[in-house]
Amino acid sequence: MPHIQLLSPRLANQIAAGEVVERPASVVKELVENALDAGASRVDIELEQGGVKLIRVRDDGFGIAESDLPLALSRHATSKILTLDDLEAVGTLGFRGEALASISSVSRLSLTSRTADQEAAARVEVEGRDMDAKISPAAHPVGTTVEVRDLFFNTPARRKFLRTEKTEFNHVDESIRRQALSRFDAGFTLRHNQRVIQSLRPAESDIDKERRISSLCGQQFIDNAVVIEAEASGLRLWGWVALPTFSRSQADLQYFFVNGRVIRDKLVAHAVRQAYRDVLYNNRHPAFVLYLEVDPATVDVNVHPTKHEVRFRDGRLVHDFIFRTLHRALADVRPADHFRGAEAQALSREPEVSQSGASTEAFPLSQGAAPSQVPSYSGGYGNTSSAQPQQDWKASDQMAFYNSLNAGGGVTTETRPDPFESQPVPTPPQDGEDEPPLGYAIAQLHGIYILAQSRTGMIVVDMHAAHERITYERMKRALVEQDLKSQPLLVPVSLSVSQKEAALAESHGDELQQLGLQIERIGPETLAVRQIPALLRGADTEQLVRDVLADLIQNGQSDRVEAVTHELLGTMACHGSVRANRQLTIPEMNSLLRDMEATERSGQCNHGRPTWTLMTLSELDKLFLRGR
């Protein structure tokens, strides 16, 4: 039987390195975080061969005293925490004291540093099987430089798992991107094989921050972004979220920071998905750069060695705060907000426009823009009267009206003007006059699109998609006002579940009742469903309940009933909206435009497709080579 023995310091560090040091990007991340914790205002990163041959990180922080240099390369040696109370309220990026020891065990590492009260700098290097630290004098300004050479030279098995130089560098570049997004007050320089890749100056003003965002995430992202700024219950959320029409095929443009630390959290991801639920096209992913500031004592960062995961003390509060903030921000966007940059282009008739071409959402948005002050038209799109206050309709009335409209009840064939006859077209306003954001309708194209004219150019509206969103939002509002009604089942549905699910249903009985579900535990592993929401009487009751319980287990709450209800309302709104080849009069088209300007999320239909697009005068001039 083998005897129990102490591992050598080098082997213990190499085991720890397996958790911390996965590839060159992991090394860069740890070293840059140390630099930022040291108060650096400038961090320079230099790489060779993707970081495998050389990683050099230099900062202008407060440095390390010569007497502390040997300890800096020892395991569990740190200046960031001292007691358990410090660990429970960590305010720095690093705190474990394992990074330098782990890195030095799988590479040739040297650390040169100088503090402000030292006359000269000192260098520490680690050599030999026992990792003895050797200190020597050196020349260096105030700050620290760490050089890591020949990564994994003594662990060939680990080195075989590294990818190509280009792949490893891309991982490093992404790591620097995250650090640069997390700290606007610091400048970053990244060089690879003697070539400058990134050079970012400190960004203090809002304009400089947006410039950094556009440099790292692309100009189109910042052009299509809504600025977020909200604070409640000791939480503060700020940053940028992209409009639903600027969605991605992959979740590659999603950055979320908690107290300056980039994290990947299921709770946060669920809150964001929920906020985008009925405005995002199928299988698309939102884009965002968001910062959450909380009391460090309410979040546990000591969950995973890489520190990418956190645990919130009150996860439900955080989830609801993120969801409601993003949901309201996306709902408050109106067509008027998209034209603030476009109007200046149209009036000046500059030849150059945004690279996004005729993109639907290619104009800068301003944070907290007030809803457009345009008249909202009640009734059908046959209403030709002057502006009236928007009425609150019941869902049943809404559906009855639009069904009659589709059947010809709104404007009959006999009374509807011939679309090919000349009809009065609203006169475009003169300079200084107010103009609705979506302008005035001038024609209908193929019975599908509405063509509108504004100072900015030509606006094309998908009339069915726009009408669908307007109907859907009114039905949701009517449903909220009427509350969700339950319907008792003549024969209760019996479900076989696990003991955990049965106990969960029993303990969350009141919450399930608010969702319109009455569920009773009739056995250790058996549930009986006695009531369901009246709107969902045709749904699969068993699958609905199982999905709700699964949400409760994973997220502590469920929006499954709301999601299914909204899906049903979306289907009803789709069938109740004007169809293709439905000829509208000019007043009907203008009424639809005015309703779009007053409706939440009118930029997308219920399925996430855009409802309108703009081609500016400058873009039209380009098509015909005007001004050349």
Cβ neighbours of 82 (radius 10 Å): 9
Tell me: the pLDDT tens digits for 244-281?
888 888 999 999 999 999 998 888 999 999 899 878 87
Q: Which ranges of the chain have pLDDT less than 50?
A: 128, 341-399, 401-402, 404-423, 430, 432
**CATH number for 109:** 3.30.565.10
Closest to 469 in 3D by CA, of 323, 284, 326, 598: 598
Tell me how far apart the alpha carbons of residues 101 and 131 are, in angstroms, rounded to a whole number.
9
Residue 581 and residue 436 share a domain: yes
Residue 465 lies in a domain: yes
Q: What is the secondary structure of 324-361 as a DSSP string?
A: HHHHHHHHT--GGGGGHHHHHHHHHT-S---TTTT-TT
Note the pLDDT of residue 405.
44
Note the pLDDT of residue 164.
94
Element (H, E) at 469: helix 463-482
Note the pLDDT of residue 424.
52
Residue 259 and residue 113 share a domain: no
Note the pLDDT of residue 194.
94
Q: Which of 200, 218, 250 is the last residue of a domain?
A: 200
Residue 242 and residue 186 share a domain: no
Backbone angles phi, psi at 432, to 5 degrees: 95, -20
Tell me how far apart the alpha carbons of residues 2 and 7 are, in angstroms, rounded to a whole number.
14
Query: Domain span at residue 137?
Result: 9-200
Tell me: the pLDDT tens digits for 441-459?
999 998 899 999 998 899 9
Residue 254 lies in a domain: yes
Residue 562 lies in a domain: no
Residue 609 and residue 581 share a domain: yes
**CATH number for 273:** 3.30.230.10
pTM of the model: 0.74
Q: Which sign does the torsion angle of CA 64, 66, 69, 71 carry? A: negative
Residue 1 lies in a domain: no
150: which 2 tokens? 């020949």
**CATH number for 539:** 3.30.1370.100
Residue 148 and residue 287 share a domain: no
The total number of structural domains that make up the chain: 4
| Contact call for residues 145 and 114 (beta carbons, < 8 A) | no
**CATH number for 607:** 3.30.1540.20
Residue 296 and residue 220 share a domain: yes
Residue 139 and residue 81 share a domain: yes
Residue 416 lies in a domain: yes
Residue 111 and residue 67 share a domain: yes
Tell me: the pLDDT tens digits for 19-72?
678 899 999 999 999 999 999 999 999 999 999 999 999 999 999 999 899 888
Note the pLDDT of residue 543.
86
Element (H, E) at 589: helix 586-598
Residue 227 and residue 145 share a domain: no
Q: Which of 150, 182, 200 is the last residue of a domain?
A: 200
Element (H, E) at 71: helix 69-72
| Contact call for residues 50 and 165 (beta carbons, < 8 A) | yes
Residue 289 and residue 245 share a domain: yes
Residue 348 lies in a domain: no
Residue 99 and residue 49 share a domain: yes
> β-strands 457-462, 486-496: how paired?
unpaired
Residue 264 and residue 128 share a domain: no
Give 389: exposed, middle or buried? Use CB within 10 Å, 0-12, 13-18, 19+: exposed
Residue 340 lies in a domain: no
Sheet-wide strand order for 261-262:
225-232, 235-242, 288-293, 254-258, 261-262
Residue 133 lies in a domain: yes
Note the pLDDT of residue 3.
77
Cβ neighbours of 578 (radius 10 Å): 23
261: which 2 tokens? 């630390």
Tell me how far apart the alpha carbons of residues 232 and 81 are, in angstroms, rounded to a whole number.
29
Note the pLDDT of residue 187.
97
